[in-house]
């Protein structure tokens, strides 16, 4: 392949990435219900179930390594995400715009040796991870987005 052709393909790849990658974060925490499919595709997962409650709907999908549940309020906003499986899913995808805030809070959080449960909390997001090998679990939620009448214990 000629050098100029490779350069064109590289520019094309960068342009496509700029268009596609922002869409992947939209379905994440704080995103809309209409874009939950983007998370499913980003995690290479398949739809497993939809459960409707009075104040929210749970969209569940499964990949080879984990099961992810996205909690969507009646107003159509993803207010929480929970997971379980052999590995933790890519939190950058699931946290979306909250990912940077989570990373900053994670750097400030000391983790004692041997602790199997970790909670990282910032002003806008709470991320909890726990479990042991091949049975890892966690949840992330934006306290300001949780609908009235919904408790944190419902996010499983």
Task: Encode pLDDT of 23-40 as tens digits.
Answer: 333 458 999 887 777 777
Mean pLDDT along residues 64-93: 93
Residue 72 dihedral angles phi and psi, to the nearest 5°? -115, 125
Question: Which residues form the domain of 113?
Answer: 25-154
- Scored b (16 or more CB within 10 A) or e, 114-127 reads eeeeeebebebbbb
Average pLDDT, the chain: 81
Mean pLDDT along residues 86-110: 91
Pick 102 or 115 by higher pLDDT. 102
Residue 44 has pLDDT above 80, yes or no: no
Dist. CA 154–CA 126, nearest whole Å: 15
What is the pLDDT, as a whole number, of residue 41?
A: 77
Q: How confident is the model at residue 45 (pLDDT cuts 50, 70, 90)?
A: confident
Domain assignment of residue 129, yes or no:
yes
**Domains in the chain: how many in total?**
1
Domain assignment of residue 14, yes or no:
no
Residue 19 has pLDDT above 90, yes or no: no
Residue 12 has pLDDT above 60, yes or no: no
Domain assignment of residue 136, yes or no:
yes
Domain assignment of residue 19, yes or no:
no
How many Cβ atoms sit within 10 Å of the Cβ of residue 48?
13
What is the pLDDT, as a whole number, of residue 113?
A: 67
Coil vs helix vs strand at 127: strand
């Amino acid at each position: 392949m000629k050098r100029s052709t490779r350069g064109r393909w590289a520019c094309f790849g960068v342009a496509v990435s700029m268009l596609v990658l922002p869409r992947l974060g939209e379905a994440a925490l704080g995103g809309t219900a209409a874009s939950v499919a983007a998370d499913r595709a980003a995690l290479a997962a398949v739809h497993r179930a939809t459960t409707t409650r009075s104040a929210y709907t749970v969209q569940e999908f499964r990949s080879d390594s984990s099961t992810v549940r996205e909690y969507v309020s009646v107003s159509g906003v993803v207010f929480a995400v929970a997971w379980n499986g052999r590995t933790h899913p890519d939190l950058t995808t699931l946290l979306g715009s909250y990912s940077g805030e989570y990373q900053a809070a994670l750097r400030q959080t000391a983790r004692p040796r041997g602790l199997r449960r970790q909670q990282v909390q910032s002003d806008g997001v709470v991320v909890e991870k726990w479990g042991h090998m091949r049975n890892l679990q966690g949840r992330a939620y934006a306290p300001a987005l949780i609908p009235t009448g919904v408790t944190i214990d419902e996010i499983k």
